[in-house]
């Protein structure tokens, strides 16, 4: 059967379009991709890390018992930092997860789910929490186990702090190059992460706010292609102060008791 001229023309258009998209992506990759820099570990790198932590009042963050926030108006999160329980809501789903064990419960439109569906949603909620909590305050993780800190000389002659997470999280091996002002307050970072094909993409750290507990949080991150932002950020010394009503993690407590 002969291919009609119009069909042949459409195939050519699709092929040309596909090749054009691939070409543009390749050019962007060559233009934006940067190699991971190397630096020097030791007391100077650790000193810069501690300076940055002081600038965001990390001691006040350590005494923050509960925090709630939204990321890009997509995920709504509540974190009981004392028990390390998290509630993650998106679309019609709600997940309560024990961050330490990754065990949890899942609901859809208020209805408790079971089986593989519940397990998959709990795992998805946990991954959302890992990502969203990291955007909330990664400066609290500069000295986590498996973290490598290196002092890097930036093109402008200033010092930057390169952090590599060799373990933990969803994607161990990711690296971040922090830039901070003279007070130690960060104003940007570059990312070398497994989920992004381009290395060294930069995001700003701006629109800092001070929580009621005294900790500082950046709520806006401007990028080349997409911006990430936090909203409705609230914190308290205890979960009861933040959520006065009945314990929102009651169902998770029952699950944990059943596993004991």
Question: pLDDT tens for residues 12-39?
Answer: 554 544 444 333 343 444 446 999 999 9
Q: Is the pLDDT of residue 250 over 90?
A: yes
pLDDT of residue 12: 55
Q: How far apart are CA 188 and CA 179, in angstroms?
A: 5
Helix (H) or strand (E) holding 258: helix 250-259
- Cα 205 to Cα 105: distance, rounded to the nearest angstrom: 34
Percent of the chain with pLDDT over 70: 87
- Measured over the CA atoms of residue 246, residue 77, residue 143 and residue 206, the dihedral's sign is negative
Q: Residue 10: pLDDT band by 50, 70, 90 thresholds?
A: low
Domain boundaries, the chain: 43-259
Q: Which residue has the higher pLDDT, 18 or 241?
A: 241
H or E segment and range at residue 88: strand 85-90
pLDDT surpasses 70 at 260 = no
pLDDT of the residue at 75: 98
SS3 state of residue 76? strand
Give the architecture-level CATH label for domain 43-259.
Clam (2.50)
């Amino acid at each position: 059967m002969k291919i009609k001229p119009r069909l042949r023309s459409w195939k050519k258009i699709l092929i040309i379009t596909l090749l054009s998209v691939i070409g543009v992506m390749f050019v962007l990759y060559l233009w934006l991709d940067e190699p991971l820099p190397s630096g020097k570990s030791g007391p100077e790198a650790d000193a810069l890390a501690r300076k940055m932590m002081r600038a965001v009042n990390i001691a006040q963050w350590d005494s923050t018992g509960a925090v709630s926030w939204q990321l890009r108006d997509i995920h709504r999160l509540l974190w009981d930092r004392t028990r390390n329980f998290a509630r993650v809501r998106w679309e019609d789903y709600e997940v309560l997860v024990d961050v330490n064990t990754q065990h949890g419960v899942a609901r859809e439109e208020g209805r408790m789910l079971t089986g593989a569906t519940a397990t998959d949603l709990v795992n998805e909620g946990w991954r959302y929490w890992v990502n969203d909590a990291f955007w909330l305050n990664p400066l609290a993780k500069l000295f986590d186990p498996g973290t490598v800190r290196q002092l890097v000389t930036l093109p402008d002659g200033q010092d930057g702090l390169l952090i590599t997470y060799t373990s933990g999280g969803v994607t161990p091996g990711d690296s971040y190059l922090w830039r901070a002002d003279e007070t130690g307050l960060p104003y940007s970072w570059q990312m070398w992460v497994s989920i992004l094909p381009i290395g060294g993409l930069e995001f700003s750290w701006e629109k800092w706010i001070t929580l009621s507990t005294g900790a500082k949080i950046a709520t806006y991150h401007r990028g080349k292609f997409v911006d990430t932002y936090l909203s409705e950020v609230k914190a308290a010394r205890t979960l009861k102060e933040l959520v006065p009503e009945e314990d929102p993690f009651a169902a998770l407590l029952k699950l944990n008791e059943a596993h004991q």
